[in-house]
Chain A
Amino acid sequence: MHDHDSDEGQPDNQLDDMTARVKALETILVEKGLVDPAALDVIIETVETKIGPRNGAKVVAKAWVDPAYAARLEADATAAVAELGFGGRQGEHLKAVFNSKTHHHMIVCTLCSCYPWPVLGLPPVWYKSPPYRAKAVRDPRGVLQDFGVDLPASVKITVWDSTAELRYLVVPRRPKGTDGWSEAALAELVTRDSMIGCGFARAAA
């Protein structure tokens, strides 16, 4: 919409460059019998509804209330996550790292966008973008400040760069004042960013 009559919007037959490019490729793939358009819809529905940080939050909440589960999660995260029914693409080999009062963990993929899909869903734009990929391994405290989070100078910090097919999940610290809370209530406190290590779990209300 660059011309004087942009108020009326684009004519229906004019697509922006990216839309047109994607549509052209999709049309050819479908016409050639290489892609089933119904399969595309199922893929999109799956990533929109079956995976996401609510899955990871359930894992974290269970680890908070069940020490035996936490131990299994630490020993073999792939199996422990599968106990809750989560797994699959981009979560074939999972590793959980546990924050404590003295040690904070952060995950990154400096080389592309590796991310634990089954427990966190698709990565946010900032996770895939150059500022985060450049800065996390060198200045994770600066990254935390970008998120408005201050980590005390005494806390050790480890950044896990996902250079192979291992996918990392941070288990944040359990907020104070949540003794006796149900797993479901605790899961509400577990943010996506806290499971990347770019934030903390929410404080108990």
Chain B
Amino acid sequence: MNGPQDLGGRSGFGPVVPEPVEPLFHADWEPRVLALTLASSALGHWTLDESRHMRESIPPLTYLRASYYQIWLTALEALLERHGEVSASERQGGTPETPGLHVDRCLPANRVVALLEAGGPTDRPAPAPARFAVGDLVRTLNHQPDSHTRLPGYAREKPGIVVAIHGAHVYPDSNAHRRGEDPHWLYTVEFTGADLWGDGADPTLSVTIDAWEPYLEPR
């Protein structure tokens, strides 16, 4: 979707401002949001792709003003509401009104380390032979669905070259919307700065994205 998350190449945000002193968290509520997000994802209602889509569905004026953990909390509230676990009325009232649904999936403390160590690999058996090989010249499609996609706006309809092939991976465009994992081949595609940014581009620049096969056509 052409949402507020799609920031690559936008002007006007000013310089990057590193912090001289850099605490891991900037308020006591931030680690709680991180932990609640990870623990709630273990309930199994949604995928990482769905949660990303929920974050980028936050209205642009809110998204761009929010800190990252505020974005996470807003999306977590919305996910729990969508999947019937915590309603807005419960949040506002501060007391449960209905029983929890996936209580059998509640993450116990003694499983946390194993869960974090296992992670969630997204490689899958390939559904078909790869269409492209390293060195192939490709072009990204003008792919800009209203729904979730991981093809950034700045890299649409751009000529590139395949520089790596990573096997088949879960396809976010499907998986974010509960249409299944629908694995597709994943490639790293490299673009020149000039092809992305025009005549003012840094001549020494190249940019890569990781692109699923449905984002690409041969050229």
Contact = CB atoms under 8 A, between A and B. Distances in A.
B73 A165 contact: no
A92 B115 CA distance: 12
Contacts of A95: 164
Chain A's interface size range is 35 or more
A131 B77 contact: no
Given A21-B73, A161-B8, A28 B152 contact: no
B113 A42 contact: yes
Nearest to A159: B207
A84 interface: no
Contact of A26 (B32, B55, B111): B32
Contacts, number: 269
Which of B33, B103, B205 has the largest count of A CB atoms less than 10 A from its CB?
B205
A124 B25 CA distance: 9
Interface of B: 5-11, 13-19, 22, 24, 26-29, 31-36, 38-40, 43, 52, 55-56, 64, 67-68, 70, 73, 76-77, 80, 85-86, 90-92, 94-96, 99-100, 102-103, 106-109, 111-113, 115-123, 150-152, 154-155, 164, 166, 169-170, 172, 186, 188, 190, 196-197, 201-202, 204-212
Interface of A: 18-19, 21-29, 31-36, 38-44, 46-48, 50, 87-93, 95, 108, 110-113, 121-122, 124-126, 128-143, 146-147, 153-166, 193, 198
